[in-house]
Structure 1
Amino acid sequence: MQISFCLLLFIFHSNVGVQGLRFTKNPANLTVTQGNMARLGCAIEGLMNEPDIVWMKDGEKLYSTDQMYITLEAQHWETFYSVRSVQQQDAGLYWCEVELHGKTISSEPAWITVEGVPHFVLEPQDVATLPGVPFNLTCAAVGPPNPVEVLWWLGDEQVGGTMSSPSVLNVAGKNESIKFYCEAKNDRGISSSRTGTVHIKVLPDPPKEVQVVQILESNITLRWSPGFTGHSDLQNCTIQMSKMSKASGWKMALPERPVMVPPYQVAIGGLQCHSNYSVRIRCANEVGSSAFSSWVNFQTPESVPLAAPKNLTFDLSEQQLTLTWAALEEEDLGGQLLAYKVQWSLGGESQDALLFKESVAHLSGGGRFFNATFQVAACTVVGCGPWSPPVLVMPASALNGQTQRGHMWVGLLLGLLVATMVGLLLSVLVHRRGKETQFGSVFKPPGTESTVTFTAARSFNRQCPELPETTLDSLGINDDLKTKLRDVLIPERLLTLGHMLGKGEFGSVREAFFKMEDSTVQKVAVKVLKSDISSSSDIEQCLKEAAYMKDFHHPNVIQLIGVSLHRRPQQRLPIPMVILPFMKHGDLHTFLLMSRLGDEPFTLSLQTLIQFMLDIARGMEYLSNKNIIHRDLAARNCMLNESMTVCVADFGLSKKIYSGDYYRQGSVSKLPVKWIALESLADNVYTTQSDVWAFGVTMWEIMARGQTPYPGVENSEIYEYLIKGERLKKPPDCRDDIYEIMHSCWSPVPKCRPSFQQLIDQLENLWAGLSPAPSKEPQLYVNLEGEDLDGGAEQVARAGASSGPAAGVSWGVPWQCAGMEEDEKDWLMVSSGAARAIGGDYRYIIGPHCGLDDEGRPSSDGLSEDIRDEDEDAVINV
């Protein structure tokens, strides 16, 4: 065994320079038979105290737990390093080191040489080869003692004769797997190497565990595990896909996609949304390709439509306006058609959008649509697609006259264009003439001439300047509020507003995309207040509510993402925008409606309905503990996230939203009176107990699957109806114990109503008493085509609900509670009968033959009236 020259040079230099310190004994070279003991020693002189002598081997420090020091005389010490049973790995170069004052002194080095049976330094490894192809096997072993001879064994036969180490065996080729090893021999004995295997390369097995781990609208992520590789590295894999044709029902093969491996994962794009696909994979090594794996089927999700409806035309008469447009093709729809959304404006003001299932709309009272502009978009359950080009509604006579005037204007424009071109040609010709005058050449003569340049003293930009970004410091709000909002204020430039999701009394909700700090984009919903901001106090009131929202962290309360300020041209104050999570499944009211009125009505189990109530109660309990009064709790203001969990929403801006005329007695038509507590209608007083009243109405909405509360009672009649002791009647198929809970929320005495915690306890007991239900409802697919929707609304099976009478039950619950005053007991009355459902007048879903009367309400031959929404803020999300 040898040591490098650099290592010896290092040891030599380390011996120089520590005055008065020297090694008086150095370790001696040893030759030891394997298994015997070896002992090295060294002594050093010049140390006052017991030294720390370190033993080194081949440049590495040795750690010994039994090292001892012997005192030879004053400042003279000796130590030893022992190996009880020497093995081949103990052979090497050894020396001692001592460190003093940052310098190291080393002894002379010594070798330990181990004699024994040969020691393998290179053992034969497994071999993978093609059938009949020659290959080599290598084996190397060393002593001492040397020389070392090598013998090869292939299967059960000794081949190749005796060779010197290292040895290389040439094998002509094999057609089947075989074992092999080598033997090394010297004067001390024989050693055997590990046993290796010659593998014959074959075709790989098909891939396994093929799965689609992520599915988006137009791309997927595919992952698989390789099968048996056939003793050869896989070179590539081939992905084969087919798409199910919706028209013919046959599978259509798509071009194959080769991919390099590893990794065994690939993203595949360019897919069509809302389509059925199948995929399988095969992989290849140098021998060839495996068989394909089994087919794996998947479906891409729906998306918003990719194109706008075409050929929007109208037919206008005094009695009716008929709009028609071309239905979208399947490949442009991006999903299952929910409805066509028609928006229109008159006099520059947007009107409420209407929904139609067919590609035709009949609107009564045609004269009122004169000079109105219409657009149409197709909608799926994900959202609405782009709008068609606007169409201006005008009588035929006006259109003819406009066409004639249009022709005249076209002729004038063409004449003006020809005259302009002639003038330009004459100007060019004149500039080329070089005409002379008495004052010299008027035009530039040929040849060189000195050039004069100048820089304008001022420049003018006729474009509007870019609006500066609004900061909290520019709003004039107090410092405490600015501190609370600094971490939630989002610059307006990071938001890209999309289409409108809904519109209410005090603003609109728009889809938007929020670019975050890591450059990823998040889909959000942005609530934009109407542009009637007139003072800093209005903004401060709005931002105070947002400051409350930023501290909300509860799974059943929608969370604030941030606040942004929209800067307006020529306006001192911006418009606040509240940024909230985008809820994929929309609001609870629409979801309940579609369970009855969809093209494929689906059953909502009683467990699921009670879970909805529990989610809302837990969210309201959380808000009440934070001293937040919601003031507008209803199914339309509860949102469903991707996991079908209900989140209470529309609470953060309550003071701003419900100030002024919204709750004034003189504007009953705009009050959500059917959800407001009796004392709030009478005295404009709002407490947590008034939120409990609204929760009872929301429970009723859930059990009635989205029906409008108080069917048959007009908004203007609600106060008189309640003051007489009347209440909402028990919905069909509603269990008595559930109705008792909601009925207890409507006590005329606020303190006699249950708290939200008590409501949670009661609902949890109800839920626990039911048999287990599936954790997730079936996927919602809504189609309003075809059958009569009134009939479909009545044919809803509600699993788990106890059978009850068809008509409402007359309840005699006195709503009494401890601590009531005598004058409060005078309020207590019992409820009475029920009536058929009718709705408000703010939002409609209109069937293919439903018209509007002169007041803008659906005519009697339209869709069932109970799908209309009571409040203008409620939006049917499509």
Structure 2
Amino acid sequence: MNIYHWIIIFFAQSTAILGLRFTKNPANLTVTQGNMARLGCSIEGLSEPDIVWMKDGEKLYSTDQMYITLEQNHWETFHSVKSVQQHDAGKYWCEVEFYGLTISSEPAWITVEGVPHFILEPQDVATLPRVPFNLTCAAVGPPDPVVIHWWLGGVQQGDVTSSPSVFHVKGVNNSVKFYCEAKNARGISVSRTGTVHIKVLPAAPSSLRVVHMVEDNVTLAWSPGFAGHSDLATCTIQVSKTSGRKVKRLDKCVKVPPFRQILSGLSCFSNYSVRVCCENEIGTSPFSDWLDFQTPEAVPFAAPRNLTFDLTEQQLSLNWATLEDEELQGKLMAYKVQWNLGGEGQEALLFKENVAHLSGGGRFFNATFQVSACTVAGCGPWSQPVLVMPAAAVSAQIQRGHMWVGLLLGLLVATIVGLLLTVLVHRRGKETQFGSVFKPPGTESTVSFIAARSFNRTCAEFPESNLDSLGINDDLKAKLRDVLIPERLLTLGHMLGKGEFGSVREAFLKMEDSAVQKVAVKVLKTDINSSCDIEQCLKEAAYMKDFHHPNVIPLIGVSLHRRPQQRLPIPMVVLPFMKHGDLHTFLLMSRLGDDPFTVSLQMLIQFMLDIARGMEYLSNKSIIHRDLAARNCMLSENLTVCVADFGLSKKIYSGDYYRQGSVSKLPVKWIALESLADNVYTTQSDVWAFGVTMWEIMARGQTPYPGVENSEIYEYLIKGERLKQPLDCRDDIYEIMHSCWSPVPKCRPSFQHLINQLEGLWASLSPRPCSMKEALLYVNLESDEGEQGAGALGTGEDRSRSAMPWQCMGMEEDEKDWLMVSSGAALAIGGDYRYIISPSCNGSEEEEAGRQGDLMGSLQQEVRDEEYEDTVINV
């Protein structure tokens, strides 16, 4: 506070002390109810005072308050009540404010005389028949005393009693009305009319429904019926399971409220019926109507049994027992058969029935086979492995195992080997660094040795690349040292896609146990020779090293590719292989591919939920993504979305924002308004990009802001324009995405709030699992004449004539019964089945894969050229 304010306060206090005072204070009044009351006060010392009337600490507002001038700087005002009622009784005074000071008059009280007013009126009563109970009533004056009369069923009861009064009722048989009268010298007041309710049985519950469902439990909710004038204490849920011709019933008693209960331990893919009744102290209500529902499918929990084989030179036949419905836990989609030959796993096969016929029996000698049952939810456990051997070899092996001669022969062989070892030990010669030297009888010594390693001096070997050869800082090297993968363990395959700074290739990684894992490898462009560019690439890997979340793509490792005649190796970031590619291409293919398919609203919301959960995890780790879009979200085998591509991400070590200070190519149509204007990036700018990604999902892969050029985006947004609501997009979904585009970053929802909203939307949809898996169940390529068709989708009940979409001429008849499913079913079964075709097919696979690759590549390139714009960032 400065000296000027102190001068003002001092002046005000001095003025109040010298001349500012109330010359008249309001006087106490006792007024009969309905008459007029008037209070007055006057103040001296102000030229134009603003006098305020107060009642019980609250300011009174009056439109007709008048001021009377008594003399210069001396004023009087009044407060009038034309018809005084009980609520007008209370404490009154005047107040004046002067330079921040409040000066108050002496207080006065208005006391209202009139008929009694009630401070406690009788309340409704719920009771059992002929059970005594009490009623209470209280009223006050003035004037006092106040007496009470009771009326029950229209008849005055008992004698007059003073207030407060308690009336004892011995009991009633039926519902009856009651009230009390309060009387004093001024008159009579009548209380509210209460009711005595007789408690009865409750009514049946209503609106029984399933609000949430997972594999083995459901959440039920219902609305209670009429409670019968008594609180409901418990409800009984009766569950009936239909299994064949048997009906199993289970009663579960739960406390209420809330009128909601989780039923757990249910069988998957089973039909149930439930109904509910509720109890009060009188008894139990009738049951509600039956509610029928079916639990969703799950992965089979048992493996097929009795796997047997029949091997001939022409074919191998496999047979196994079918699973019971309780073991299957769903509708059988296929049997998955995997086999291993020479220690190496082979491509899995799918069959519709519990029998498989494979041509060329000789190629399966010494192979092991296992089988698993698959539903739409996935595949169950594997059966015990069975080794395929010719029947003669199996018979001979069994006979030898039961012959005592074999045991005696083994003992004899062991004895002979022991003797030979003893002789060799005595004849052992000296050992050298090159091998063993033996001296046979004679005058000359003959030296023999085993070479430890051979060399070719004409061929130069490249040393294994390491992090020290990159010229990057020590902190980054320390972070990446434990995830460095030797280049010799990687085998690169075909290209999956190209970006601004490099490409992504399919690859195979040899693990420590000699197993091979399919991976994706991000390879920096070969014309990049700067340590800064390499360091930027490896920083992305360093971010991902600490990511452990199902919706964020993890890092498998980093490898370095040594190039001839180049000082620096090319860094390669090794990532999990995502079977279904990026979300943007997936959405485009659902709408524009050769075989369009329907993606349900529930699945689209699940995509949004996965992305929001991944981004919430990144924001908690202080990571700003800066390039969130559908093209940078990958789809795993089970259609789980993983946030990926952290090439533009930044780790924030202090504060909550990052300011870009260079020239970069940035995705203009996904960038928040403040980032376009000031180059500032925060978690709130990632929320903006998430809203645009939601729009992409609901628009099935369309480019945002159709018809608006990249150079026009800032002017478009600054005028208040936003992305329009996509066709067939629900209003509540559009409201969520629109909230992400608030011009004020702090007004945008957090990722946790977005998760809560999307979870509510997901739960509000049909509890029956509905996804694209049902729409893409089988592919039928045969026309009515039996010729190969164009690959129409079939979803009917008759799916016995399924075929491969890439089926070609020359396939064996016994191989046509392989169950080949489209990507919708393969997502549950797992594996890449595009290449499980007959060896006699000539080139059809490569042509089909190339055609699809050209289509997807052209779509991706067209979108990427449009999405990224050279944006100059000024510091």
Compute the TM-score of the two structures, normalised by the length of structure 1.
Answer: 0.51
Could you give the per-residue CA deviations for residues 110-165 of structure 1, whole angstroms, max 9, x where no partner exists? 11011111111111111111111111111111111111111111012100221111
Could you give the per-residue CA deviations for residues 499-525 of structure 1, whole angstroms, max 9, x where no partner exists? xxxxx97789xxxxxxxxxxxxxxxxx
- 1:300 offset after TM fit, Å? 1.3
Distance in 1 of aligned mates of 2:227 and 2:527? 67
Cα separation, partners in 2 of 1:218 and 1:50, compared to 1, 3 Å: same
- 1:336 offset after TM fit, Å? 1.6
Distance in 2 of aligned mates of 1:95 and 1:215? 65
Name the amino acid aligned to 2:80.
S
Residue 247 of structure 2 is aligned with which of 239, 247, 251?
251
Q: Does 1:51 align with 2:9?
A: no
CA contact (8 A) 1:218 1:271 kept: yes
Could you give the per-residue CA deviations for residues 204-237 of structure 1, whole angstroms, max 9, x where no partner exists? 0110111223333211121111111000111111
Name the amino acid aligned to 1:566.
I
- 1:180 offset after TM fit, Å? 0.6
Residue 152 of structure 2 is aligned with which of 132, 154, 165?
154
- 1:90 offset after TM fit, Å? 0.3
CA contact (8 A) 1:842 1:870 kept: no
Question: For residues 88-99 of structure 1, what are the structure 2 equivalents within 5 Å?
Answer: 88-99=86-97
Question: For residues 839-878 of structure 1, what are the structure 2 equivalents within 5 Å?
Answer: 839=808
Show the counterpart of 2:29.
Answer: 30
Show the counterpart of 2:594.
Answer: 634
Distance in 2 of aligned mates of 1:379 and 1:224? 36
Name the amino acid aligned to 2:380.
G
Show the counterpart of 1:169.
Answer: 167
Name the amino acid aligned to 2:123.
Q
- 1:51 offset after TM fit, Å? 2.2
Could you give the per-residue CA deviations for residues 632-662 of structure 1, whole angstroms, max 9, x where no partner exists? x432xx5532359999x9x969xxxxxxxxx
Show the counterpart of 1:280.
Answer: 275
Q: Does 1:314 align with 2:314?
A: no
CA contact (8 A) 2:240 2:272 kept: yes
Question: For residues 67-106 of structure 1, what are the structure 2 equivalents within 5 Å?
Answer: 67-106=65-104
CA contact (8 A) 1:70 1:78 kept: yes
Show the counterpart of 2:369.
Answer: 374
Cα separation, partners in 2 of 1:353 and 1:193, compared to 1, 3 Å: same
**1:352 match: secondary structure:** coil
Show the counterpart of 2:193.
Answer: 195
CA contact (8 A) 1:53 1:97 kept: yes
- 1:325 offset after TM fit, Å? 2.3
Distance in 2 of aligned mates of 1:82 and 1:406? 121
**1:19 match: secondary structure:** helix
**2:378 match: secondary structure:** coil
Show the counterpart of 1:690.
Answer: none
Name the amino acid aligned to 1:210.
L
Q: Which range moves more in the overlay, 572-581 or 185-194? A: 572-581
CA contact (8 A) 1:213 1:222 kept: yes
**1:310 match: secondary structure:** coil
CA RMSD after TM alignment: 5.4
- 1:195 offset after TM fit, Å? 0.8
Distance in 2 of aligned mates of 1:229 and 1:157? 30
Compute the TM-score of the two structures, normalised by the length of structure 2.
Answer: 0.51
- 1:296 offset after TM fit, Å? 1.2
**2:265 match: secondary structure:** coil
**2:168 match: secondary structure:** strand
Question: For residues 695-710 of structure 1, what are the structure 2 equivalents within 5 Å?
Answer: none
- 1:354 offset after TM fit, Å? 2.0
CA contact (8 A) 2:129 2:171 kept: yes
Show the counterpart of 2:320.
Answer: 325
Could you give the per-residue CA deviations for residues 277-333 of structure 1, whole angstroms, max 9, x where no partner exists? 110000011111111112111111222322222333333333322222232121110
CA contact (8 A) 2:56 2:91 kept: yes
Show the counterpart of 2:288.
Answer: 293
- 1:238 offset after TM fit, Å? 0.7
Name the amino acid aligned to 2:221.
R
Cα separation, partners in 2 of 1:320 and 1:353, compared to 1, 3 Å: same
Show the counterpart of 2:337.
Answer: 342
- 1:175 offset after TM fit, Å? 1.3
Q: Does 1:209 align with 2:207?
A: yes
Show the counterpart of 1:181.
Answer: 179
Could you give the per-residue CA deviations for residues 7-66 of structure 1, whole angstroms, max 9, x where no partner exists? xxxxxxxx9995233322111011111111111111223x43422322222222222222
Cα separation, partners in 2 of 1:311 and 1:372, compared to 1, 3 Å: same
Cα separation, partners in 2 of 1:159 and 1:353, compared to 1, 3 Å: same
Name the amino acid aligned to 1:634.
D
Q: Which range moves more in the overlay, 193-202 or 866-875? A: 866-875
CA contact (8 A) 2:351 2:818 kept: no
- 1:369 offset after TM fit, Å? 1.1
Cα separation, partners in 2 of 1:290 and 1:792, compared to 1, 3 Å: farther
Question: For residues 295-694 of structure 1, what are the structure 2 equivalents within 5 Å?
Answer: 295-395=290-390, 530-531=518-519, 533=521, 535-537=523-525, 564-567=554-557, 573-577=572-576, 619-620=591-592, 633-635=593-595, 638-642=596-600
Question: For residues 220-231 of structure 1, what are the structure 2 equivalents within 5 Å?
Answer: 220-231=218-229
Q: Does 1:261 align with 2:260?
A: no
Q: Which range moves more in the overlay, 119-128 or 258-267? A: 258-267
**2:525 match: secondary structure:** helix
Cα separation, partners in 2 of 1:779 and 1:857, compared to 1, 3 Å: closer
Distance in 2 of aligned mates of 1:361 and 1:315? 10
**Looking at both structures, which has the greater relative contact order when contacts are Cα pairs under 8 Å and sequence separation is at least 6?**
1
- 1:561 offset after TM fit, Å? 7.8
CA contact (8 A) 2:175 2:197 kept: yes
Distance in 2 of aligned mates of 1:283 and 1:29? 60
Q: Which 5+ residue runs of structure 2 have no aligned equivalent? A: 1-12, 412-466, 471-481, 484-492, 498-515, 538-549, 562-570, 608-629, 633-769, 790-805, 820-834, 854-875
CA contact (8 A) 2:372 2:383 kept: yes
Q: Does 1:42 align with 2:41?
A: yes
Name the amino acid aligned to 2:186.
R
CA contact (8 A) 1:204 1:290 kept: yes
CA contact (8 A) 1:562 1:578 kept: no
Show the counterpart of 2:507.
Answer: none
CA contact (8 A) 2:122 2:179 kept: yes
CA contact (8 A) 2:520 2:575 kept: no
Name the amino acid aligned to 2:247.
K
Name the amino acid aligned to 1:294.
D
Could you give the per-residue CA deviations for residues 583-630 of structure 1, whole angstroms, max 9, x where no partner exists? 99xx99xxxxxxxxxxxxxxxxxxxxxxxxxx979944xxxxxxxxxx
Cα separation, partners in 2 of 1:204 and 1:618, compared to 1, 3 Å: closer
Could you give the per-residue CA deviations for residues 748-788 of structure 1, whole angstroms, max 9, x where no partner exists? xxxxxxxxxxxxxxxxxxxxxxxxxxxx999959999xxxx
CA contact (8 A) 1:205 1:230 kept: yes
Question: For residues 701-740 of structure 1, what are the structure 2 equivalents within 5 Å?
Answer: none
**Equivalent pairs, count:** 524
Distance in 2 of aligned mates of 1:843 and 1:22? 115
Distance in 2 of aligned mates of 1:231 and 1:640? 52
Cα separation, partners in 2 of 1:582 and 1:859, compared to 1, 3 Å: closer
Distance in 2 of aligned mates of 1:224 and 1:583? 42
CA contact (8 A) 2:519 2:577 kept: no
Cα separation, partners in 2 of 1:165 and 1:337, compared to 1, 3 Å: same
CA contact (8 A) 1:153 1:180 kept: yes
Cα separation, partners in 2 of 1:85 and 1:395, compared to 1, 3 Å: same
Show the counterpart of 1:141.
Answer: 139
Distance in 1 of aligned mates of 2:336 and 2:322? 13
Show the counterpart of 1:630.
Answer: none
Could you give the per-residue CA deviations for residues 396-417 of structure 1, whole angstroms, max 9, x where no partner exists? 5666788879999xx9xxx9xx
Distance in 1 of aligned mates of 2:597 and 2:572? 31
Q: Which 5+ residue runs of structure 1 have no aligned equivalent? A: 1-14, 416-472, 477-491, 494-503, 509-527, 548-559, 589-614, 621-632, 654-775, 797-836, 861-865
